[in-house]
Amino acid sequence: MKKTILSLSFFAFTATVMAQKLTTSSAVVTFDATTPKDALPKAENKTVIASFDKTTGALAFEAAVNNFAFTNPMIQDHFNEEKWMNSAAFPKFTFIGKIDKISKINFTKDGTYDVEVSGNINVKGVSQPINAPAKVTVKGGAVSATSNFTIKLKDFGITGQAIDAGKVAEKPTVAVAVQF
């Protein structure tokens, strides 16, 4: 009897802990480097993997670089070339960080919460710290989040004629949307 109660207690504890960690393989990241000279350098990746721990606020994303889809296939080819993202040598980009002040979010009540996210983004093997505002929404027990921020391409070793000519923004906007 004691073993049964102990086993059931362990199972309940494990189920509670596992419910605190959320994952998805369909987060969306968009990359917008448009300028007044060129509206085409815009891409979307709908196959981003994400994980989130509701207890600690730990947050992670991973995206395959070659899954960014552009409307113009030539731009997509350039994006994956060695001078730009070099997806052959650096097939993914990652973010590892956390939601600051996770206690601001009440996961048992529907609502939208403005939070800050901090961590490190790794692009082309270069890791840079980043802080960004985000919105976390809890609705019917489901958790979703969005964030928009800019990065400096030069910080990740990304340079070239298109940037110098004003056809690609030096500081593109990155938008993240995730439904856990």
pLDDT digits 0-9 by tens, 7-44: 434 444 444 444 689 999 989 999 999 999 988 889 99
Q: How far is CA 12 from CA 16, 102, 141, in A?
A: 6, 24, 19
> What span, in angstroms and rounded, lies between the C-alpha atoms of 115 and 133?
6
pLDDT at residue 19, as a whole number: 60
**What is the sign, positive or negative, of the torsion defined by CA atoms of 86, 90, 92, 98?**
negative
Q: Which domains does the chain have, with CATH numbers?
A: 20-179 (2.40.128.110)
Radius of gyration of the chain (CA): 19
